[in-house]
Amino acid sequence: MLAVLSPGQGSQKPGFLTPWLDLTGTEARLRWWSALAGVDLVRLGTAAGADDIKDTARTQPLLVAAALLAAEHLPMHDVALTAGHSVGELGAAALAGVLPAEAAITLAGVRGREMAAACALEPTGMAAVLGGDPDEVLAAIAAHGLHPANRNGAGQIVAAGSLDGLDKLAAEPPAKTRIIRLQVAGAFHTPYMAPAEAALAAVAAGITPADPARILLSNLDGAAVDHGRDMVQRLVRQVTAPVRWDLCMRTLADLGVTGVIELPPAGTLAGLVKRELKGDGAPEIVTLNTPDDLPAARDLIARHGMAPSHRPTTQFRVVVAPAAGAFARSAELTEGETIRAGQVVGHIGTRQGPVDVTAHQNGVLTEWLAHHDDPVAPGQPLARIGGRS
């Protein structure tokens, strides 16, 4: 199984889009998207300096545009899974078919402007806490009135909140940790961003999303999301909620992902995956930064991706697990029965209680892919539904 990852803020580098403008149609596409985002994406991706592209209002649409541009040159129909980090989730949602590219760019523009405005209301910041015992790190963050904004796995938790709280955390670091102050405008993914969440929600309410065409992981809890409206709500909530990239990587491992491509500007997420998913089952990774990297990315998809189907008369859709736990099939359902959109086909038994598994299209239950009482991971295929096109 192959995953395509879309990076978040902090991964950008001056001039990183320059080589992509040599490809036919790229500059025109960026100028169109610039009109939607309210920033000059061509200048930002080619001529702007580091301080210029560090501005939240500019960085966020630039990163989403970069991911979508590069993905246009990949055989995405053979990709099984997409995921993004922070604003990268907008790119991942577009690549999964939930949002049109134009909607993703527009939302990134709104998100960036509104988060920048929220940062200006009160002095706040972020700091990476590297190493240490995770429980002790989280306790220290809470003790200083801070929030765990990013839990990135590989021994990295990002604290966010008041500058005074960050100073105290640096003065009294948890055992065996190193603290690095991040050069960001404010406390992203915390309650300080509430005004930005409200503004983004008002715009997102006008979007009509589609259900994902492939597995799409959420930063909220690492779960696979199989309903478009649910994903849009999660994208809005993510502005104030922590980024659980650690749980996304756990799902990659649970699903047995064997190949990973990180879209430009690539390197950060590939590094986290490499440090977290080690050993015999470690996925093969390609960092896609320039058009020169496209042959390696296409080769990885050819070897780890899904085989394309040339039988258009019957279309199949897979129902996936929304959470981790024990799967219980609906007793009255058997293979060959007709089911309707919204029908409950089973439950996942979790520590918090049962979670419904629902079908999101009408069709025929052609095959159970998981047995009764099987332990399942978020995103794991449970049943196949067929329908005539």
| Residue 314 in this model has a pLDDT that exceeds 60 | no
pLDDT at 312: 35
| Residue 308 in this model has a pLDDT that exceeds 70 | no
pLDDT tens-digit readout, 265-276:
999 999 999 999
pLDDT at 177: 96
| Residue 316 in this model has a pLDDT that exceeds 70 | no
Distance CA 244, CA 256 (A): 19
pLDDT at 44: 97
Domains of the chain and any CATH numbers:
2-118+191-304 (3.40.366.10), 121-182 (3.30.70.250), 314-388 (2.40.50.100)
- pTM for this predicted structure: 0.81
pLDDT at 380: 78
Residue 159 bridge partners (DSSP): 127, 148
Report CA dihedral (195, 182, 85, 65) to the nearest 10 degrees.
Answer: 80
Q: Which positions are annotated as active-site residues?
A: 86, 189
Using CA atoms, how far residue 378 sits from 95, 179, 229, 264, 382, in Å, is 19, 32, 18, 26, 10
pLDDT tens-digit readout, 174-193:
999 999 999 888 999 999 99
